[in-house]
Amino acid sequence: MVFSEFTRMVHVSKQDICREIYARKGGDSKIKKEKTFVKNLARIFDAALKMSNEKGFAAMSMRDLSRASGLSMGALYAYFSGKDELLEMLQRTGRTITIRMLTEQTAGEIDPRVKLRTAVLTHLFLSEALQPWFYFFYMEAKNMNEEGREKAKAAELATEQVLADIIREGQDLGLLHDRNPLMTAAVIKAMLQDWYLKRWKYAARNVTVDQYGRFLIDFIEAFCLKPDQKPPSPGEGGESGPD
C-alpha cells in the first residue's frame, strides 16, 4: 500500500470528519442543516488548528477564533460552549478516527506479518492526510484538564496496544522474535510520531511519505521478523527508502 492508494480507499478529509461529528450529535445540534454545520465547523477547525500551530491553543481567544474563521461569536457558541469543549472535540475526534482506522484496515488480515505492515502504514498515511490534526493532538494535550490529559495518554496507549497485540500474535505463531511486544510497539509509535512532529527534517532531506513508510517497514521487520519470515508484498510498489 502506498499513500495515493490509501487516500483512494479511505475518506479522511476535514469535511468527512465534520460530517461524522454532525451524525454523532444527532438531533442535539443547534445547527440543523448538515451542509451548514459541516461548512462552518470545517472553517472553525481550520482556523483553530492554524492559530494553535502558530502561537498555541492557550494563547488563542474565542474572539481570535471568531475573526480567523469569519464567524460571529454567537455562531461559534452554536458548536461548542468554549475553548475547553472545542479542545475536547478535536482531541476526541482524533482518538476515535485513529483507533477506528487501525481496526478497520487490519480486520481482514489473517497473517500477523501483513497485519503489522498494514497497521504501521495506516497510521503513517492517516497522519500524513491529517498532519495539522495529528500535530495538534500531540502538542496540545498538555493544555487539557487532568481528565483530558488522561484520555490523551490512554489514546496513545490504545494505539500501542493494537500494535502490541499484532506482534504478540506473530510471536505465538513463531513468525516474530520473542521480544517485549509493548516496548516494541512503543518504539514503533515513536517512529510514527517523528514523521508528523518533525516534518521539516524529512522535507529538508526530500523524503516522501512513501519512502519513509518503506524505510520504516524494513526497519521494523529487520527487528521483529525471524529469518526467512518476510511476507510477500504483491502490488505494494512504492518508492525505495532513502539511503
pLDDT, one tens digit per residue, over 55-91 is: 888 888 999 999 999 999 999 998 888 888 888 888 8
**Torsion sign across C-alpha atoms 183, 232, 126, 208:** positive
pLDDT at 145: 77
d(CA 128, CA 123): 9
pLDDT at 15: 81
Q: Which residues pair with 230 in a beta bridge?
A: none
Question: Can you read off the three cell numbers belonging to residue 84?
Answer: 475547553
pLDDT at 220: 96
Given a cut of 50, the residues of the chain with pLDDT beneath it are 234-243
pLDDT at 27: 64
For 144-147, which contacts have Cβ atoms below 8 Å and span 24 or more sequence positions?
A: 144/87, 144/88, 144/91, 145/84
pLDDT at 111: 93
d(CA 32, CA 175): 53
* Domain edges within the chain: 3-224
Residues comprising the chain, all counted? 243
Where would I find the H helices in the chain? 3-9, 14-25, 34-55, 62-69, 73-77, 83-106, 112-129, 131-139, 146-172, 181-197, 199-204, 209-224
Residue 28 carries which DSSP code?
G
pLDDT at 26: 65
Q: Which CATH class is domain 3-224?
A: mainly alpha
pLDDT at 239: 45
Contact yes or no for 83/66 (Cβ under 8 A): no
